[in-house]
Each structure stands twice: as structure tokens, then as C-alpha cells.
Amino acid sequence: MANVGRDYASRGVRAAFSAKVFLAGARYDFQHIGRHTAPPILPPRTGEEFGMDVQAFLGSSVSFASRSRRMACIGALVASMCLVATANAVDAPPLAVLDHGLRPTVLAPGQAPPGWSLEERMRFHKIPGVAVAVLRDGKVVQAAGFGVRAAGGAERVDADTLFSVGSISKVVTAGTTLRLVAKGTLDLDRNVDAYLKRWKLPASAIVPAPDVNLRMLMSHTSGLGVHGFADYQPDDALPSLVQVLDGQKPAKGEAVRFRQPPGRVSDYSGGAVTVEQMVIEDATGRPLADVAQDLVLAPLGMRRSTFESPLSASRGNIARAHDAKGLPTALPRGWESFAEAGASGLWTTANDLGRYVGALIGSYRGTQPFLPQPLAVAMMTEVSPGPFGLGPRLGGAGAGRYFFHLGANESYLALLQGYPETGDGFVILTNGANGLALIAEIRNALDDAIGLGTRPAIRTVKPRVPPAPDFAGEYRLDPALPMDIRRALADSFEHDTLTVSIQGDMVSLVLPGQDAPTTLQALGPAQFVQSGIYVFRFEFRRDASGKVRGVAVSMPETESVAWYAKAP
């Protein structure tokens, strides 16, 4: 495949390492990743394991009663938990960047990109296993696993290892819904009460006569509440869908009820997607797992993926759950269950999820029949007033326009991202509670390799003078600013107030419900940045009399802005 306009070597993607990869019985030997041409095909070797030559690294110990046994486990990990990769395609070299190209989003003045390896960052974040897939022109060209399925174990992650992907499930549920729309079973604009049989949208003083359609449910503009759901441990009873929607035990969440009138605000809602799941099931008379299998998973060759809950151990090759210390959790089984399948219950692999991203890209471009092109374009178009289309979240513009979604269950973090205009994309799956920080670093590396310039490093400055003392104080969200302007901030920075403190040269931010302050980094005398999986910029505004009026909060990549006025 031609990689037009992408000079990997000039972007620092050249690697000097040797990886032996099998593809259709052929062995590829990479000595200089970063070339546009495919590496030479060496004689095939049958039945031999393959991987990258890397140092064994210290993973995360299992939870033992005594300190001595814990240390013994750590010692075992040093010997056994070696970063390995198994890949299934070699047409392009973007995964080479994982050997040396991980970086933070924000760099200090004069700081060179650190050139982190995936190995060292997995160790730092206490993530035992990772799987990644990369797409070019709407096709998976590389997919690989790194590390091990369980801390202390020897079973390695590969591109077909099953991971829980949390809210990425919503995007696959959306694909199932749109397939039913294409078949004429569902209508995007019809009141969903017409389909619901086991449960009805609850009338209230806020919404006396509910009129909600699928577009609203899929774009988080329905007005329904319940942001997300708790995981279920191996010994927990699983509630029915009706129990989930009504907040009845053994459901762990509150009832799904209207918080706002439909169609007026953007308010991320796992509850709304659970209603979407019930629409699918009541309209077809079948469980979501079966409908998705027939309409999405099987047609796309996603042979390992499932909405089954609890996941059966017989499926094999399953990434185990790990907590923030890197210790196995959800024992004795080793993974949680997810009663709200449509919102958070998908189990999938790097290969499979990459195929799904490719199907969405191909449908959008009119080169793949998975969805009719008009439906695919609607899926990739923001629904006012929020940042979501019909399932995925959207950002960027032109060739750099992308769709994406994060997935975050308690012990698994994941990301999918696709560029519908160019056909590029990637999938990142992790099996540890600290996965979000690692995903941000991997995403930066892969975006650098793709070369569209959508996520350049942000360089801070050394302040010439200390921050102004009157920046300190409480700031309150101005609700008069239309939500169409706030857009992504309404989801990613959902705070009515924020508190700023000044200590010497440090500007710190405290958000509601946050235990510890977050240090902001300077971009100028009155401009600061906070970085994680998302980038937030803060610009303090002063009027002509010299008084601080407020702070503008923005997400540059989504052109979203919110205004927080300084409290008297």
C-alpha cells in the first residue's frame, strides 16, 4: 500500500530493532523500520513462536497475604513477564513507533520528546497487557499484542486476545441499530416508546409526555440520566434490563430518568444507550448479543467478539483484570461482568475491533457495504448541541477529521479512533486500571506515525513573572453560553464551578469532587494547559480596569469553549 505524503523517517519513526513476524506462512525480518517498502520475505518457519527482542520487565505482582510472598511474585515476574509482540500484517510500519515513540502531550521548555518505549511505559503504569491494531486505507495492516494476559503469568497477549472495551460497546451497539434501520426494522426519528414493550419512558414533571427518538439516544441528547454503570464481580447477581432501567436490585445504579427535556442538552448517558439496547431487543424479540452477532460481528468476521455476560472461560485467550497497582482483581474468575451490554458489555480483540473501525470508514467512503453511505455519514455527523454523532464522538476537520470513543470499565481501558477521509485509524486495548494514561501516550505515538498532525506536542513556557495573585478564587460556569459552543466540554469538562489557587509559581485547579489539585502548566502570562487523554486550555481574562473577569476553558482540537465568571 502506498503511504502517500507520509515520511516516517522524518517524523522520528525509524526504529532499529528486529521483529520476526509471521504472515501467511512467511517470515518478515525488520532491521530498519521506517521504510515505505515492505521488508524482504524470508523462508517460512512453521510452528515457531515469534516476538520482538526486548528486555524482560517487571510487571505487577499478584495479591498475596505476606510481603515475602509478594516479593517472590515480583521476582517471578522479572523472569517471566517479557514484552512480546505477535503481529499479523506488515504492509506499513506504524507499530515500530511503539518501540521508541511514546510521549506525553505536553513538553516542558526545551524538553526533547522522551522517546519512551511501550515496554517501559507498561511497567511504569502497571499495565500487564496491551493490544494494538493500526489501519491504512480502511484496512487493518498491523495488529499486535504486548505483555501478558495476567500479571505473574506466562500466557502472552496477541492480536486475538479478548479484552473488555467498556463504552466502546456503544459504538458497536450503534452499528447494530443502524443495520436495523437499513433493514427497515427501526426508524431513527420515531418515538422509541412505539418499540418498547417491557418498559416505557417514564413521564415526569420535567418531561410530562416523553418523545424521544433513536437519534437522541445515540447522540446523548435524550435528556436521560445515568452517566455510567458499575462493574459486577464474579459472585454478584446480574440484574435484568428492566431492573437496570428502574434502579432495582441487584442493579447497582440509580433509575434511568429524565434530567433534562429531550433534544436540548448534551449529557453523556449510558442509561440512554441501555434504552437503545431495549429498543433493539423489543423490536426484534431477541437479545442484543444475538442480534449483534447476526448483523455486525459475523458479517465483519469479528469471530472472537461477543456481548455475552458473564463471559465464558471456554472462549479462551482472555486478558485478566488488574487494579491500579497492577494486581489481579475480580477473582477467582479474573474478569468482571457487565449487565448493561449495549453500554459497556462488549468483549473484543484488536483484530476484530480494527475490522469494525474499517467497516465504518468503508461505509462512510462508499467502498464497503456494511452500512448504506447516507447512514454512515449521519453516524459521523455531530448532533446538536453535542460532540457526538450516532454513536461515536467526533473531532478535527478536513483530512484530520476523526471519530473516536473511549472505553473505561473498572479494570480495562480502551480507545478506538478512525479518520474517515484518509482511512487511517487505530485501536488500543489495555487490561489495567491505569490504562487511560498509557493509552494517551500510545495514541500520541500512533498519531505521530500516521502523520496527519492532529495531535502535535504542546510546548509550555517558563513564566517571566509569577502568576497574578488575583487569578486565585472561585469561578462559575456561565450557562448563557449556548451548549453548541461548549459542545465537547459539556461532556469532558462537566463542572459548574472550579477553584484556582496560587502557590509561588504554581497555578493549581481544584474541581468539584476532586481530592487533590491539578497543577496547570504555563503557555503564557495568563494562559495555562492541563493535559491527559484530553487537553484543556485555561485563559484568564482581565478587563480594561485590570479586574479578572473570568477564565475561558477550551478544547482546541474540538473548538469547544466554556466561560467561567469569577465569583465576587
Contact partners, residue 207, CB within 8 Å, separation at least 6: 201, 223, 258, 261, 262
pLDDT for residue 515: 81
Q: Is 147:59 a contact under the CB 8 Å cutoff? A: yes
* E-assigned strand segments in 412-456: 413-418, 425-430
Which residues belong to CATH 3.40.710.10 in the chain? Answer: 1-180+289-459
Q: Is 241:281 a contact under the CB 8 Å cutoff? A: yes
pLDDT for residue 7: 31
The whole-model pTM stands at 0.82
pLDDT for residue 57: 30
Q: How far apart are CA 309 and CA 26, in angstroms?
A: 38
Per-residue pLDDT 10s for the chain (568 aa) are: 333 333 333 333 333 333 333 333 232 332 222 322 232 222 332 333 323 333 233 333 333 333 343 344 333 433 333 344 444 433 446 799 999 999 999 999 989 999 999 999 999 999 999 999 999 999 999 999 999 999 999 999 999 999 999 999 999 999 999 999 999 999 999 999 999 999 999 999 999 999 999 999 999 999 999 999 999 999 999 999 999 999 999 999 999 999 999 999 999 999 999 999 999 999 999 999 999 999 999 999 999 999 999 999 999 999 999 999 999 999 999 999 999 999 999 999 999 999 999 999 999 999 999 999 999 999 999 999 999 999 999 999 999 999 999 999 999 999 999 999 999 999 999 999 999 999 999 999 999 999 888 889 999 999 889 999 999 999 999 999 888 888 888 878 889 999 999 988 899 999 998 888 999 999 999 999 998 888 999 999 999 999 999 999 999 877 889 999 999 9
Which residues belong to CATH 2.40.128.50 in the chain? Answer: 460-566
Q: What architecture does CATH give domain 1-180+289-459?
A: 3-Layer(aba) Sandwich (3.40)
> ∠ CA(116), CA(120), CA(123), 5° rounding?
145
Helix axes 270-284, 169-183, angle to 10 degrees: 40
* E-assigned strand segments in 24-105: 26-30, 41-42, 85-87
Across the beta sheet with 41-42, the strand order is 19-23, 26-30, 41-42
CATH classification code of 460-566 = 2.40.128.50
pLDDT for residue 93: 63
The helix/strand/coil state of 345 is: coil
Q: How far apart are CA 391 and CA 375, in angstroms?
A: 12
Helix count and strand count (H, E) for the chain: 13, 22
Distance of CA 348 to the CA centre of its chain: 14
pLDDT for residue 46: 31
Distance of CA 494 to the CA centre of its chain: 18
